Structure 1
Amino acid sequence: MLTIRTNITELATTTLNIGIEQFFENRFSILLPVSYNPWTFEDNKKIKHLAIQPEFRVWFGETFRGSFINVQSFVGLQLHYLYYNAGGINIPFGMFPDPKYTRYEGHGAGGGLTYANQFGLGGRWRGEIGTTLVFSYLWYDSYDCRTCGAFKGSDTRRYLGPGKSSLSIVYLSAAYALY
């Protein structure tokens, strides 16, 4: 069975995203989400990025069976890679030292652990809410101010903390989803 999804939380930050998930033996799945934000906002504020975050999921109980309100939980092991160009905004959780007045351009890679619940919305539609705790290794160039200011230097940073939070809409492509 295959699902197609989008993360509403990311859409709220103007990030375009889509994910495809393949199921195996009712208890395991592999999700491949991709997100992309190409926008520059007023005063050159930006959270431009391209992120790929494959995830292996283990589901508790038999997936997609039961009543309309049936909730299935899962844990997932996620890997991620991203390219980013961000500045002029408050990036939470201390990911960067001075994000409001510095622009950071670079790459990141790491992994994480996800916990989420998925619930029926009717027919082939489902909702999903979850969060991921991540460890990321970031390497970047930093620049004075938010525009093409003076080069400040290159650095690396390790980040451990909240990663992607999701509120997703999921479409099940197989008739199996109709209970």
Structure 2
Amino acid sequence: MKSRFLVIFLCLVLGVVSVGAQGVAIKTNLLYDLTATVNAGVEVGLSPKWTLDVSGNYNAWTLSNDRKWKHWLVQPEARYWFCDRFAGHFLGFHLLGGQYNIGGLKNGLKFLGTDFSQLSDHRFQGWMAGAGVAYGYTWVLGRYWNLEAEIGLGYIYSRYDKFECAGCGQKTETGQPHHYLGPTKAAVNLIYVF
């Protein structure tokens, strides 16, 4: 069902936009690929200095009975290019939204008010929405291929249910809010430009 929406979205974008020189790009985030997260993005030129990038990712893997890392995320972003679009420096303004079911991931990380170490012994299931700003740079590798690096910071609001452990169903908290401020985007994208 979700793949059907992606195909329809791509057809609409490609049908509405006139495909000229460097008008549309498709991409994959190599950092997500390293975590076996299925991801894809499409970027469309809106004007000589502006593009619209829409990316999504999906991870449905249960690592083991006591470790889960499941989520989906959609992240649209308006980009302003300092020189030519699809090359050089850019600033991005992004939104994001998705759902997650994650737990049993051993760590001791506490970062900017968020205690990620709770993921070691508990499971969290909920939704998130947020916004942020990003900076990136795109290197032209050839006529059709680019490589892009991007980092973004922003805010995410989330509501979650907390469970006693990753593999069990004993709920300990319901509908808890969480405010996150920090990195909201990290990408090393391999890009094919039409």
Taking structure 1 as the reference length, the TM-score comes to: 0.88
Which of 137, 155, 160 aligns to 1:117? It is 137
Whether 1:23 and 2:39 are equivalent positions in the alignment is no
Which of 74, 94, 115 aligns to 1:52? It is 74
Q: Which residue pairs with 2:153 in the alignment?
A: 133
Q: Which residue identity lines up with residue 177 of structure 2 in the other structure? A: T
Partner of 1:62, secondary structure, is coil
Which of 143, 164, 167 aligns to 1:144? It is 164
Give the Cα–Cα distance (whole angstroms) in 2 for the partners of residues 12 and 91 of structure 1.
Answer: 22
Quick one: higher RCO (CA 8 Å, sep 6+), 1 or 2?
Answer: 1
Q: Which residue identity lines up with residue 138 of structure 2 in the other structure? A: Q
Structure ranking higher in helix proportion: 2
Unmatched 5+ stretches in structure 1: 65-70, 174-179
Structure 1 runs of 4+ off > 2 angstroms?
A: 90-97
Q: 1:57 to 1:91 in 2, by over 3 A?
A: farther
Q: 1:1-179, aligned counterparts within 5 Å?
A: 1-64=23-86, 72-89=88-105, 90=107, 93=111, 94=114, 96=116, 98-154=118-174, 155-173=176-194
Shift of 1:25: 1.7
| Aligned alpha-carbon RMSD (Å) | 1.6
Shift of 1:114: 0.8
What percent identity do the matched residue pairs reach?
33
Partner of 1:122, secondary structure, is coil
Partner of 1:10, secondary structure, is helix
Shift of 1:96: 4.5
Give the Cα–Cα distance (whole angstroms) in 2 for the partners of residues 53 and 81 of structure 1.
Answer: 7
Give the Cα–Cα distance (whole angstroms) in 2 for the partners of residues 53 and 25 of structure 1.
Answer: 20
Q: Which residue identity lines up with residue 125 of structure 2 in the other structure? A: E
Give the Cα–Cα distance (whole angstroms) in 2 for the partners of residues 153 and 62 of structure 1.
Answer: 50
Partner of 1:53, secondary structure, is strand
Q: Aligned residue pairs: how many?
A: 167
Taking structure 2 as the reference length, the TM-score comes to: 0.81
Q: Is the CA contact 2:51–2:85 (under 8 Å) kept in the aligned structure 1? A: no
Give the Cα–Cα distance (whole angstroms) in 1 for the partners of residues 103 and 48 of structure 2.
Answer: 43
Q: Which residue pairs with 1:177 in the alignment?
A: none
Q: 1:91 to 1:24 in 2, by over 3 A?
A: farther
Q: Which residue identity lines up with residue 74 of structure 1 in the other structure? A: F
Answer with 137-146 or 93-102: which moved more. Answer: 93-102
